[in-house]
Chains A and B, each alone.
Chain A
Amino acid sequence: MEQMIHQASLYGSDQEFLEMAVPFVRDGLANGEPVLVTTTSGNLELLGEALGEDASRVDHAETAYYGRRTAQRATAFTRYWRRNSGHRRVRILAEPVWQGKSARDVLAWKRMESGLNVLLDDTGIWMICPYDTRSVGAGIAEDALRTHPSVSADGRTAQPSATYADPHDFIGRCDAAPLAAPPAGSVSAPLDEINDVRRFVAEEARRRGLAEESASLLAVAAHEAARYLGTPLTAGIWESFGAVVCDLRRPGKAISDPLVGFRPPGPIERAEDGLWLARQVCDHVDVRSDATGCTIRLQAAGPRLQTG
């Protein structure tokens, strides 16, 4: 198996994009390597035309739907690798959506870009992440150089990134701001038993208007998070715009792995599997440890979510 490679590619025009993407994809196909392209519909179209007949051998996904949240995205990459486990090298061209994202989401996706260096370290994935400098802000482009060990302009060769940051340091900075205090309308309860945790959360979620299915999923997420934290703990729940938020706080506990719950379950059961499930089910999962304990904050979509 080859070493994992994770490169950024900053481009300012369609031509620059193609100058990197076409050789990257063509070389992979020539080597018999699985190739996945997940980018904007505009770039998929560009690349498809440039590749001609070769395009039919490329795995593809419109990027907005390939892992809607960061934990789902990281899982999709891991699964693509596992599905192609017979290969020493798997190529992925992965361009996230940056435009229109909230500051919080931008931070979460930068955090994931950095985390991929750790999460995919034991795979033979060669991943190039294109950044469109016409649309992404300067901050996002600069951080791309902090979250990718090297930069490639031609899809073949690379220069090390001078500002690359150790993922734990980078993620530590992403997580530096404390979680906002729960608002006035929140309710909380000290709970000794794990079955009370899931009941409390399901009940409060239903009371806030979540449909049975969504309330049940949030209860599963809370249960799994509580299983990871241990009991007794204090559970709190409240609504904010578009969301139902649930805090679980366990005094005296600390979680040191910032990427816990990003790796999908395998055949052997691991303690973090439950947190992985919580991250799949929730829109946001924040984990913060301090001197007195650990908080896991789960956020699910609120009751007025429309799905068409």
Chain B
Amino acid sequence: MRMAPGEHRSVAFSDEAELEPVLAPFVHEGLAGRDKVLYVTDVTHPAVATGLLRGWGIDPDAYAGRLEVRTLGTSDPDVMVAQLTEAAHRARAEGYRALRFTGEMSWAVREGTDSLTAFETKVQALFDSGVAMGICQYDRRVFPPVTLSELQRLHRGTDVDLEFDGALLRIRRSVDPPGLELDGEIDANAVDELTRALTSAVRRERGDVHVDMGRISFIDLSGLRALVDTATSLKEGRSLVLDRVPEHVAQLVGLIGWDKAPGLRVRGGDARWSR
């Protein structure tokens, strides 16, 4: 994954196993290179985080003085950024290239969105100065979906194809076939985001717009309606193509009679789209 000083990413996870593919290479890379690593926890005990690192094949004892795991002592964004700034400058003074920071952001659920925005903006300024880089950890189980999608804007570098990253639903742009990939559950709470992503996909693409439904575990009537409304609003000659539609979802679409909706094509679960 290769990260350079100045970069600011985030990882949203629903259980600790999802941290590994992002954080393990981040830490490995820093230790293999010329960076110092700071892992800051909030609700997790530092010993647990140390255990996670060991599980990822990183022995903190072997990197004493270079890899530090500690608990956040404050919930004040100014104090936090001041501490990080100090740590980054110390790392530089000690001859390292930069400070690699990763931290649990669950404190922001207690402190509120304003504190979080203040932190993310200030820490971005620190990263921009070139002495540090970081990955903020967002636990989907504690952050409201709205906050998570808001945060996407502050971490644009992360994943440019990710259009929405909510607690229950992830929407990603796809290039081949052109359209969207949906992952998770769609209910009335996610419909606005889904509609927004569909509208921009329709505007972005010229021909058919594909929606990969293969990782949708649940969709309710309001979600189906958002798909159908998008399909029926398309100009003659274009279609909204639902790929890898789960069996029970295809059945629901048929019951409602939307399988015959103009502009909508529903494809079954087994056949992946032909390239």
Chain A interface (Cβ < 8 Å from any Cβ of B): 79, 194-195, 198, 212-213, 216-217, 219-220, 223-224, 227, 264-265, 269, 273-274, 277, 280-281
> With the chains together, A213 CA to B250 CA distance in Å?
11
Minimal Cβ-Cβ distance residue in A for B219: A220
> With the chains together, A213 CA to B255 CA distance in Å?
15
Chain B interface (Cβ < 8 Å from any Cβ of A): 168, 185, 187-188, 218, 220-222, 225, 246-248, 251-252, 255-257
Cβ of B40 to closest chain A Cβ, rounded Å = 30
Whether B185 contacts A195 by the Cβ 8 Å rule is: yes
Whether A277 contacts B187 by the Cβ 8 Å rule is: no
Cβ of B182 to closest chain A Cβ, rounded Å = 16
Q: Given A195-B168, A195-B185, A277-B252, are A220 and B220 neighbors across the interface (CB < 8 Å)?
A: yes
Cβ of B208 to closest chain A Cβ, rounded Å = 23
Q: Given A220-B252, A227-B188, are A274 and B221 neighbors across the interface (CB < 8 Å)?
A: yes
Cβ of B65 to closest chain A Cβ, rounded Å = 45
Minimal Cβ-Cβ distance residue in A for B185: A195
Of A194, A195, A213, A223, which is within 8 A of B251 by CB? A213
Chain A neighbourhood of B187, CB < 8 A: 194-195, 223, 227
Beyond A216-B246, A227-B187, A269-B222, list 7 extra A-B contacts (CB 8 Å). A216-B218, A217-B248, A227-B220, A265-B221, A274-B220, A277-B221, A280-B255
Chain B neighbourhood of A217, CB < 8 A: 248, 251-252
Number of residue pairs A-B, CB distance < 8 angstroms:
45
Whether A277 contacts B225 by the Cβ 8 Å rule is: no
Chain B neighbourhood of A280, CB < 8 A: 255
Q: Given A223-B220, A227-B220, A269-B225, are A213 and B247 neighbors across the interface (CB < 8 Å)?
A: yes
Chain A neighbourhood of B252, CB < 8 A: 217, 220, 277, 281
Whether B256 contacts A265 by the Cβ 8 Å rule is: yes
Whether A224 contacts B221 by the Cβ 8 Å rule is: yes
Minimal Cβ-Cβ distance residue in A for B224: A277
> With the chains together, A190 CA to B256 CA distance in Å?
31
Minimal Cβ-Cβ distance residue in A for B249: A216
> With the chains together, A223 CA to B218 CA distance in Å?
10
> With the chains together, A213 CA to B247 CA distance in Å?
7
Chain B neighbourhood of A227, CB < 8 A: 187-188, 220
Chain A neighbourhood of B221, CB < 8 A: 224, 265, 273-274, 277
Whether A220 contacts B256 by the Cβ 8 Å rule is: no
> With the chains together, A212 CA to B269 CA distance in Å?
14
> With the chains together, A280 CA to B254 CA distance in Å?
11
Chain B neighbourhood of A223, CB < 8 A: 187, 218, 220
> With the chains together, A227 CA to B185 CA distance in Å?
15
Whether A198 contacts B218 by the Cβ 8 Å rule is: yes
Cβ of A50 to closest chain B Cβ, rounded Å = 33
> With the chains together, A269 CA to B225 CA distance in Å?
8
User: Which of B220, B221, B251, B252 has most chain A Cβ within 10 Å?
Assistant: B221
Cβ of B10 to closest chain A Cβ, rounded Å = 23
Q: Given A195-B185, A216-B246, A220-B248, are A281 and B255 neighbors across the interface (CB < 8 Å)?
A: yes
Cβ of B194 to closest chain A Cβ, rounded Å = 14
Chain A neighbourhood of B185, CB < 8 A: 195
> With the chains together, A280 CA to B218 CA distance in Å?
18
> With the chains together, A79 CA to B255 CA distance in Å?
12
Chain A neighbourhood of B246, CB < 8 A: 216
Whether A216 contacts B248 by the Cβ 8 Å rule is: yes
Cβ of B91 to closest chain A Cβ, rounded Å = 43
Cβ of A212 to closest chain B Cβ, rounded Å = 8
> With the chains together, A79 CA to B260 CA distance in Å?
14
A-B contact pairs, 22 of them (CB 8 A): A194-B187, A195-B185, A198-B218, A212-B248, A213-B248, A213-B251, A216-B248, A217-B248, A217-B251, A219-B218, A220-B218, A223-B218, A223-B220, A224-B220, A224-B221, A227-B188, A227-B220, A265-B256, A269-B222, A269-B225, A273-B221, A277-B252
Minimal Cβ-Cβ distance residue in A for B217: A216
Cβ of B64 to closest chain A Cβ, rounded Å = 44
Minimal Cβ-Cβ distance residue in B for A198: B218
> With the chains together, A269 CA to B188 CA distance in Å?
12
Chain A neighbourhood of B255, CB < 8 A: 277, 280-281
Minimal Cβ-Cβ distance residue in B for A265: B256
Chain B neighbourhood of A265, CB < 8 A: 221, 256
Chain B neighbourhood of A194, CB < 8 A: 187
